[in-house]
Structure 1
């Protein structure tokens, strides 16, 4: 079994490699790539069976690298790991994972035993596994009442990319009124509407983007991927 580690930090790369050797006697070869771009090349030319993928990397982030790998090799099993329990990461992964593909998401702060369990579950047994600590941190940071649904999240992404209401409606297949209702809803959930009194006038779209970034509802990796998606959509419009 050949495993690819895509990680730009040498300490973390060594930690994962040691965990792999301990947990998976099936592993016959381990390949290391220092960023997502190199990881894509390694996955493309090598007979890689499974991948451990960092999410935050220079040149090409883990979401983008995984999407390219899955586009060519949808059977690839990928365990993502990160310092952050961002909802944006989970949404991004869910958006790109092929049907019936195995994947996982574990925090770098997880114990060695927990990491080894995730490695075996995803890379060998082909399970879908999201570390319970990620769900716990997300529940602590938000509630069901304030969590954006997929439609609201898509409108937020388009807002962050600078699209006006009419273009959002066209891209998402919504009526203009629906887009405006989604905006009102996400303003409320992000705390923009009640943030200031009536004597202060601020741009709600900018404030919504600010709050989304501060609360890590979206992150830079999400926006990088969304920008490339937008370019593709505009080219075929």
Structure 2
């Protein structure tokens, strides 16, 4: 089995290589990439079977690279390995993973034994495995009532791009009233209605983005990807 290790930190890359060699005798070759663009080239050139993928990297983040890999080879098994338990990452992964494909999401702080278990479960056995620690950290910053559905999240992303309601409606194929209803729902779920400063009015759109970033519902990588997608949409619209 050929494994591609995508990691821009040399310490983490060396550690993961050692664990791969120790844990998976099925691995015949380990290739390296320092960012998402390199990962796409290596996976394409070497017919990679399985990938260990960092999430925060320059020149295409892990989710963007994974999307390309899965588009070209849907049966590629990918273990995402990150310092961050952002809801935005888990949502982004869920949105791109092909049906019946194997993937995992593990924190870099996970114990050695859990890492070994995740590597075997995802890369060899083809299971889906999201570390319970990720769910635990998400529950710490979120409550069931503020979980966004897909359409609310799409409006939130466009809010982060600075789009006005009419542009969001056109981009997402919604009516203007639907966008405005989604905004009201966002304000409620993110706690904006309760976030007042005495009688001083607040900008609810800005406050919603603040809350989304604090709770890791959104992150910088998600907005960077959204910006590129928006530019492509504008080009097609023109």
| TM-score calculated relative to the size of structure 1 | 0.96
Following TM superposition, the consecutive aligned residue runs of length 4 or more in structure 1 with deviations greater than 6 angstroms are: none
Partner of 1:233: 233
How many angstroms does 1:233 deviate by? 2.2
Aligned to 1:80: 80
Query: Match of 1:9?
Result: 9
CA apart distance, 1:198: 5.8
Checking the alignment, whether the CA contact within 8 Å between 2:87 and 2:218 is kept in structure 1 is: yes
Offset at residue 58 of structure 1 (A): 1.7
Partner of 2:51: 51
- The CA deviation string for residues 18-61 of structure 1, in whole angstroms up to 9 with x for no partner, is 11111110001111111111111111111211000000112221
SS of 1:218 mapped into structure 2: coil
Aligned-partner Cα distance in 2 for 1:100–1:225:
25
1:221 Cα deviation after fit: 0.9
Q: CA deviation at 1:171?
A: 2.1
Distance 1:198 1:179, change over 3 A: farther
State the distance in 1 between where 2:149 and 2:141 align.
Answer: 16
Q: RMSD of the alignment, in Å?
A: 1.3
SS in 1 for 2:32: strand
Offset of 1:197 from its aligned partner? 4.0
For the residue of structure 1 that corresponds to 2:170, the secondary structure is helix
Q: From the superposition, tell whether residues 22 and 48 of structure 1 become closer, same or farther in structure 2 (CA, over 3 Å).
A: same
Q: Is the 8 A contact 2:82 2:107 kept in 1?
A: yes
**Partner SS state of residue 30, structure 2:** strand
Q: Distance in 1 between matches of 2:29 and 2:141?
A: 40
Match of 1:125 in 2: 125
In 1, the alpha carbon distance for the partners of 2:193 and 2:228 equals: 30
TM-score by length of 2: 0.95
Counterpart in the other structure of 2:183:
183
- Contact 2:83/2:108 (CA < 8 Å) preserved in 1? yes
Unmatched 5+ stretches in structure 1: none
Within the alignment, does 1:149 sit opposite 2:149 as a pair? yes
**Contact conserved, 1:165 with 1:179, CA < 8 A, in 2?**
yes
Matched, 1:22 2:22: yes
- Whether contact under 8 Å (1:105, 1:129) holds in the other structure is yes
Unaligned runs of 5+ in 2: none
Count of aligned residue pairs for this structure pair:
237
| Structural mapping, 1:89-168, within 5 Å | 89-168=89-168
